[in-house]
Amino acid sequence: MYALEKKSEHPLSEAVIHYLGECEAVQLSRFESHPGRGVSGVIKGISFHVGSLNFMKKLGIPTDETLQNKYKEWSEKAMTILCFSDDNRHFAALALSDKIKTSSSKAVMELKQEGMDIYMLTGDSGSSAKAGTQQVDIEHHQAAMLPGSKRDFVISLQKAV
């Protein structure tokens, strides 16, 4: 997991690397980024993946009931979940959460007073997005979005103005 996250450009990778501590990264013979989904790499001929549960499902990696239940529990707490697997099974899952700045609620309130509609666009699950928006009183959210979908959504809002 460390070797894959060390090569990732996703902002969460820094948190994962920090959590795992200083490790000796094994040599990857291949690395591939799947924007908005996760990363994959090959170590000693075996493919490994780090990413969302949806990414793991897309790869056809079986998910057991325990992981699905944890995923649901963590999502309801506005946490982002990263799974670590090879092509056949999951090895670990990490749940990360953003610390919402104390000034965020105030900023949202001030923007609303100016008549603005506030949207949160995220790659996280719907329940995670809903929990996050409730923390700062944002009415609108779009979840499970890939980077291109976020761009398209913003463009559609700009055209509507």
pLDDT tens per residue, range 41-91: 999 999 999 999 889 999 999 988 998 899 889 988 888 889 999 999 999
Give the mean pLDDT of 113-130.
Answer: 87
Q: Which residues contact 60 (CB under 8 A, 6 or more apart)?
A: none
Task: Report CA 116 to chain centroid distance, whole Å.
Answer: 26
pLDDT at 130 > cutoff 90? no
Residue 12 CB coordination number (10 Å): 16
**Confidence at 124, pLDDT banded by 50, 70, 90:** confident
Map out the domains of the chain with their CATH numbers. 2-96 (3.40.1110.10), 102-155 (3.40.50.1000)
pTM tops 0.85: no
With beta carbons less than 8 A apart as the criterion, state whether 95 and 128 touch: no
- Provide the pLDDT for residue 44: 93
- Provide the pLDDT for residue 126: 81
- Mean pLDDT (the chain) is 89
pLDDT at 25 > cutoff 80? no
Q: Which residues contact 24 (CB under 8 A, 6 or more apart)?
A: none
With beta carbons less than 8 A apart as the criterion, state whether 136 and 104 touch: yes
pLDDT at 98 > cutoff 80? no
